[in-house]
Amino acid sequence: MTVLDATQTRAGPGKFALGHDEEKSQQAAALASIAAAARACRICEGALPLGPRPVFRVSTTARLLIVGQAPGTKVHETGIPWNDPSGDRLRRWLQMDRDTFYDEARIAIVPMGLCYPGRLPNGGDAPPRPECAPLWRERLSNAMPDIRLTLLVGIYALTHTLGRGAMTDHVRGFRDGLPRYFPLPHPSWRTTAWERRNPWFEAQVLPALRASVTAALR
């Protein structure tokens, strides 16, 4: 008779399931390998005005995933995601302090484009590079097994995950994606006028957002 170690369970004839610690170790190693490859990515190098600097945060224990657009210049300079006025506003929406927001063990941050894509002729940020999300978004997300809720922030994240549609319609229908997804506008200064025109966002969406994030992080 074979005696099972306390960390093993029978997985089938002649097979054993991995113990919890070993499984977690393998998951962490797999994610680290994908993250290292993403940080070394140079696919878009020739199109990036400031050169490649992938900015993201991942862990196998994270329960909340924030998917935004792409780094701006300040984020590119510091290497810290959402380290700008848009990040300040997002944290106000969440009612979350910086220490909690940047607790990588609980919160992962993976934008649609990992590197700063440059500016448009009208002065706005360029869209995320189209090569990036197909290469890295799902690979990084799928390697984080404990994610309970994903915040889709801005039209690029919304369209990629939920399909085409107006940003306002996606956000207004936030209940449709729960408990897996929560759609949000991008928290740039340009959203100020949109919020004034849509008071239901503060009255209905933000309380539900905070409750959903609290539940996911428990």
Among the residue ranges 19-23, 107-111, 144-148, 202-206, the one predicted with the least confidence is 19-23
- Is the entire prediction scored with pTM above 0.95? no
How many angstroms separate the CA atoms of 137 and 18, rounded? 27
Look up tokens 């090569």; give the residue: 131
Give the mean pLDDT of the chain: 92
In terms of phi and psi (left: phi > 0; alpha: psi -120 to 50; beta: otherwise), the region of 54 is beta
* Whole-number Å distance between alpha carbons of 171 and 173: 5
The predicted-structure confidence for 24-75, as pLDDT tens digits, reads as follows 999 999 999 999 999 999 999 999 999 999 999 999 999 999 999 999 999 9
- pLDDT the model gives residue 122: 79
3-state SS assignment for residue 170: helix
Task: Flag whether pLDDT at 107 surpasses 60.
Answer: yes
Contact (Cβ atoms closer than 8 angstroms) between residue 34 and residue 79:
no
Question: How many whole angstroms separate alpha carbon 107 and alpha carbon 46?
Answer: 31
Domain extents in the chain: 20-217
Class of domain 20-217: alpha beta
Residue 81 reports pLDDT greater than 80 = yes
pLDDT band at residue 115 using 50, 70 and 90 as cut-offs: very high
Question: Is the CA virtual torsion 169, 170, 171, 177 positive or negative?
Answer: positive
